[in-house]
Amino acid sequence: MTTTPPPVRSALADGREILFYSLPGNIAHPVSDVRPLAARSSSTQSVVRRDRQTGDWVAIAALRQDRTYKPPADQCPLCPSPAGDRSEVPAADYDVVVFENRFPSLSHAGDGASSLHADARQAPGIGRCEVICFSSDHTASFADLTQAHARLVVDAWRARTEALMAMDGVEQVFCFENRGEEIGVTLSHPHGQIYGYPYLTPRTTSMLRQAREFAESHSSNLFADILATEVDDGRRILIADEYFTAFVPFAARWPVEVHIYPNRHVHNLTELTDVELDALTAVYLDVLGRFDRMYAAPLPYISALHQFRSEGVQADGYFHIELMSVRRSETKWSEPLVRRGSRRSG
């Protein structure tokens, strides 16, 4: 396969980093961001507080109250800005771009090791929140991308996973996409987000606890057993090739839910080979295409990439992708995700 060129790095008017990833043969040409943005201040940075009822950490970020909310298409902050004066992407065009979120939930990346110890009630919001734009086409979707373009997104996910995992204080890297107003999306441009958390999120903590208990009682990996059980059963398998399997989980929580597993145990995207990354891209596009063909209108969905470190409490983790939708028929919906405890981001 053709090697993806390294990203072109630039900076936005307030000092945030922006990276342009290009398809082979394309070259990104960022221009100066001339918007009058104030430099980021420590007074606006986030904190994390422990919920004493559950033990979970909660990010408190007042700055997010000011984030852009459902702008008209001609004011989209994710479309290219050839003059560098009206969006977050100062360039005439781009293939894939990643930049630090202007309104982050976590905003102390690189400030040192996290201080989240057992007795802490509050700590600086160590971590990093990034936006990844899948295409400069405002009306496109991930499912519309070519294999090569979608693979570029996967490469960007992989590169940012590696970079964020190396940052001081980052415990978990979580790539996700929310699509559709019914999910809570406030920007319709095709994009996702990448979070570097200073703690393990509640679902990750639960999964790892189950995996550790299973390993201690069965001397094998929980996720590998789940995959083997689904393959043996066969009734819920959607796609199966040499490298990946996509299936409807036995205990599906949502009207539409599909999980994608690699056929070998890896912890995160950085451990996949080029051949496996190609296969993942193809399977992912296949699943999203099926989602969009279910009904007359595109299916709103959440896509979550569950990644783990290879050592310590995360060693039992198994990289996989979970996709889900609240839509249960052509005209009916389940109750909003926010009421069922899922996080919403736009």
Look at residues 220, 253, 218 and name the one whose alpha carbon lies nearest to residue 335: 253
Q: How far apart are CA 104 and CA 106, in angstroms?
A: 5
Are 100 and 133 within 8 A, CB to CB?
no
Q: How far apart are CA 208 and CA 302, in angstroms?
A: 21
β partners of residue 128: 196
Q: What angle do CA 61, 306, 88 make, to 5 degrees?
A: 45
Catalytic position from the list 191, 259, 306, 320: 191
Question: Residues near 171 by Cβ (< 8 Å), separated by ≥ 6?
Answer: 114, 197, 198, 199, 200
Look at residues 187, 158, 23 and name the one whose alpha carbon lies nearest to residue 94: 23
User: Would you call 191 a catalytic residue per the annotation?
Assistant: yes
Question: What DSSP element (H or E) covers 8?
Answer: strand 8-11
End-to-end Cα separation, the chain, in angstroms: 34
Q: How far apart are CA 199 and CA 217, in angstroms?
A: 27
Q: How far apart are CA 20 and CA 29, in angstroms?
A: 9
Single-letter residue type at 222: L
Q: How far apart are CA 10 and CA 328, in angstroms?
A: 43
Question: Residues near 316 by Cβ (< 8 Å), separated by ≥ 6?
Answer: 208, 211, 212, 214, 215, 221, 222, 308
Look at residues 254, 277, 227 and name the one whose alpha carbon lies nearest to residue 335: 254
Report, as residue numbers or ranges, the catalytic residues: 191
